[in-house]
Amino acid sequence: MKKGLIQGIAGVGLLVLLPSCNTQKQTTGNDVYAIARTTQSGPGQDEETEIQSEQLSRNIVVPQLQIDALSVYKRMITYITPEEETAPVVSEEKLTAYVDFPANGIQVNPKYGNNSAVLTKLGERLGSLMQSADGNVRNIRIMGYASPDGNTKENDRLAGNRAIQFKNYLQKQFKLPATCQVSVDWAGEDWEGLKRLLVASDKKYASQVLAIFQLTDDPDSRRKQIKAMDKGTVYKDIEKSFFSRLRRMELTVEMELPVAAADNSRLIEQVYAQPEKLSLPELLRVASFYRPGTEQYREVYEIAAYTYPSCTVAQLNAAAAALALGDKESARYFLQQVNGDLRSYNNLGVLSLMDGDKESAIAYFRKYMSQNPRLARENLKIVYGEN
């Protein structure tokens, strides 16, 4: 019986546990036996009492051996800290400013055209975003666009210079945080924007203009053919109806948002109510609220592993959590999903040890040495009985 118990726990590698466990067995067994002998009398009863005492002693020792072995395995298991779990919560908002410029002008003039209203509205929204993000506006990307009239090369130059001057205006007027990076790019003539506007319009000539778009990508050829339509009236209407909506600055404001406690509570509730509606980063964030090895940690990572089977971290941590709770078959399943991943070798070694396969456990721990030398060495010591 004793030999069978030892092999079932961890093979030779966990013999170090046996002295304390065996001592408890002996102490418990002797106490029961002593009580039994003092309470039993009569000829022929001593032998029967001794047999009953041994059986009771075995029933007491087996759970203790299992508990001690599992506590050792828990020390040997490794968990992965996903990048998504520690990354800040980032939000983006896109803003559009239709800034008016005089012909060939590049300076932002708040008093020109409709700029006063446009820039005031933009400033109010930027201020609101900076306040809601506690000033953590990380990046503003500016993209400058021009309408496709005139000369393509000149339009590209104007779009670039106007975007640069718009950046300078933003930094000066809106008191952006020192940590905020402002980047600039420009697309030049926005033919794709014009195409979208034509598709959404009810202009009778829209299909004919779109057919020209299909025939050629050359901007000069397009302009020439459109200007030739209906003696120039089509081009003039396009210029009047659409060009002002193509001359614009598009801003992408990227913010690092604080995570409210109420939001965390909502996520925790949703994990059990509607887990399919949570993104992978949200599931991993919920998992970070629990201590590795707990039942809650396991539940969240199992949901993540089944919902997002391509996430290696979810599979690895679901396997680790199953091992910590003594569920070998679940751990085996999740580890099979990440076959060959170097980070899985340590827990494969623990699983092998739980199966009583000492040689495979040693091989896995040695393979894991390149990932975490300290833990690999500690686990090898346990296998060799040096702890």
Please tell me whether residues 116 and 157 are part of one structural domain.
Answer: yes
3-state SS string for the chain: CHHHHHHHHCHHHHHHHHHHHHHHHHHHHHHHHHHHHHHCCCCCHHHHHHHHHHHHHHHHHHHHHHHHHHHHHHHHCCCCCCHHHHCCEEEEEEEEECCCCCCCCCCCCCCCCCHHHHHHHHHHHHHHHHHHCCCCEEEEEEEEEECCCCCHHHHHHHHHHHHHHHHHHHHHHCCCCCCCEEEEEEEEECHHHHHHHHHHCCCCCHHHHHHHHHHCCCHHHHHHHHHCHHHHHHHHHHHHHCHHHHCEEEEEEEEEECCCHHHHHHHHHHHHHCHHHCCHHHHHHHHCCCCCCCHHHHHHHHHHHHHCCCCHHHHHHHHHHHHHCCCHHHHHHHHHCCCCCHHHHHHHHHHHHHCCCHHHHHHHHHHHHHCCHHHHHHHHHHHCCCC
46 with 121, same domain: the answer is: no
Domain termination site, one of 38, 73, 108:
73
Q: Residue 249 pairs with which residues in a beta bridge?
A: 97, 144
State whether 29 and 144 are in the same domain.
no
293 inside domain: no
- Are residue 131 and residue 252 in the same domain, yes or no? yes
Residue 65 has a pLDDT of 41
**Does residue 105 belong to any structural domain of this protein?**
yes
Residue 332 domain flag? no
Pair (59, 167) in one structural domain: no
Q: Which of 73, 95, 114 is the last residue of a domain?
A: 73
145, 52: one domain: no
Whether residues 68 and 176 fall in one domain: no
What separation in angstroms does the CA of 167 have from each of 109, 183, 275?
13, 8, 42
7 and 105 part of one domain: no
Per-residue pLDDT, 333:
96
Phi, then psi, of 193 in degrees rounded to 5 = -65, -40
In a domain, 172, yes or no: yes
CATH number at residue 137: 3.30.1330.60
pLDDT of residue 336: 95
Q: CA-CA distance, 80 to 173, in Å (whole number)? A: 45
- From 73, 99, 119, the end of a domain falls on 73
For residues 173 and 96, membership in a common domain is answered with: yes
Do 108 and 192 fall into the same domain? yes
Cα 224 from Cα 207, distance rounded (Å): 17
Give the full edge-to-edge strand order of the sheet including 181-189: 89-97, 248-257, 137-146, 181-189
pTM assigned to the model: 0.51
Assess if residue 137 is contained within a domain: yes
What is the pLDDT, as a whole number, of residue 103?
85
Which two tokens mark 143?
Answer: 């993209």
Q: Which domain holds residue 105?
A: 86-201+242-257
Whether 294 is covered by a domain: the verdict is no
Same domain, 143 and 251: yes
Tell me: do 127 and 171 sit in the same domain: yes
pLDDT at residue 55 in the model: 44
Q: What is the mean pLDDT of each run of 10 residues along the chain (387 residues)?
A: 35 35 33 33 48 41 53 90 64 91 92 94 88 75 93 93 95 81 92 95 96 94 96 96 94 75 70 79 84 90 91 94 94 94 95 94 92 92 82
The reply to whether 376 falls in a domain is: no
What pLDDT score does 219 carry?
94
Length of the chain: 387
Number of separate domains in the chain: 2
Q: For residue 293, which amino acid is it?
A: G
The answer to whether residue 383 is domain-embedded is: no
Distance in angstroms (rounded) separating the CA atoms of residues 160 and 106: 9
